[in-house]
Amino acid sequence: MPLVDAHAHIHGREYAADRPQMLERARAQGVVAIVTAGTDLTSSEAACTLAEAEPIVWAAVGVHPHDAASAPPSAGEQLRQLAGSRRVVAVGEIGLDFYRDLSPRDVQCRVFERQLALAADLELPAVIHSRDADEATHAILAPWAAGRRASGASEPFGVMHCYAYGAERVLAYTGLGLFISIPGTVTYPKAVSVHDGATAAPADLLVLETDCPYLTPQSRRGRRNEPALLAETVRRIAELRGVDEDELRLKTTENARRLYRLPALGASE
């Protein structure tokens, strides 16, 4: 049964030595599409380059909150140019990170808002990073989503990447027209908030991700993650939700296709 890795970073140097083999392992596990997300201008360009070269890879372009302070004034226009590629399916990874605070919070918010406006202008979904910033993230997203609805834009408007805010906040985000994306941390025994989010997410608004090379599933924790290991994540979520694994694969694959406006399963054009 097919799988889509809705958020990865496979354009990075971590895969320079074995990228073709890594992609072949993904295909062997049923992975039919991978969305590789930039975190700054350089990595966004690398994501586009890889997506142009590999039929199962698609790109998202954006500036991560960690890099918000170093983004040049021309970042928005450069991202707009990159998004002109037919292989770019989202603006991201963008958002807020009040855990590490590697950029000042006011700068994070300003850069986040600008990139959300870009996503709306380009009619692309937004891939949203939010860590220890639930209240501020929702406060920025709510008027943005309302504005998109008022303009007649079609949902979904984006996805909460690496969701970890628990069951009680799921509807706050899905109500804004956003998907919930669950990573390999759902396999960690003590990741209760991720377990709860994976269980509570509406079936038609749930997608799966690796966030590789990070967040490797429990069986290989501490080693590099890769899209093939999404199979372990889907097994665990199926257990938590009490559903058939193949059914969950099909449903989340169709959800990811709808989120990113991807072509038919397994197609590259």
pLDDT per residue as tens digits for the range 5-47: 999 999 999 999 999 999 999 999 999 999 999 999 999 999 9
pLDDT per residue as tens digits for the range 179-218: 999 999 999 999 999 999 999 999 999 999 999 999 999 9
Show the CA angle centred on residue 147, arms to residues 146 and 150, nearest 5°: 85
Q: Indicate the fold that domain 3-260 takes in CATH.
A: TIM Barrel (3.20.20)
Report how far residue 38's alpha carbon sits from residue 229's, in angstroms, rounded to the nearest whole number.
21
Q: Hey, where are the domains in the chain?
A: 3-260
Residue 16: count of CB within 10 angstroms of its CB: 8
Largest CA distance in the chain: 49
**57 and 10 in contact (C-beta within 8 Å)?**
yes
**Sequential DSSP letters for 148-212:** HHHTTPPSP-EEETT--S-GGGHHHHHTTTEEEEE-GGGGSTT-HHHHHHHHHS-GGGEEE---T
The pTM is what? 0.97
